[in-house]
Structure 1
Amino acid sequence: MADTAHRLVGTGEAARALGIDRTTLARWAAAGSVTPASRTVGGHLRWDLDKLRAQLAELGVGPATDGG
């Protein structure tokens, strides 16, 4: 879905797009391995999928190139 790449999505949706578990993505964010595009007032992470894929590709993590 082309539109998905240009909007911010929650952790669950981002993880599904990458083919990983949401807890894995949350753990990577907590460790500082990846950085969300923003955080809501309630503390929920929001992701730009293109930027997230680029971060993962930089780290050499497989799902970033999966096209998910």
Structure 2
Amino acid sequence: MKVWKIISGLEIICFILGSIFLWFRKIDGTGAVNTLENKLISIGVLGVVLVVLLIIQGICYLLLKRD
């Protein structure tokens, strides 16, 4: 379970660093200027990805714990 905690911690750290990167960049990948709405949408999409990963990780945890 130690590896499990390390992976969970790395996921949270990657989310925080990704959010900071998305918040402070001036221009996105297409060359458009980032507005507040674009920043919030980008961070929201990153949050949805994190939630999906955590759900998959939780299901795997429950399946492994059952055995």
Give the TM-score category using the shorter length: under 0.3
The answer to which structure has the higher helix fraction is 2
The answer to which structure has the higher strand fraction is 1
Q: Does 1 or 2 have the higher relative contact order (CA < 8 Å, sep 6+)? A: 1
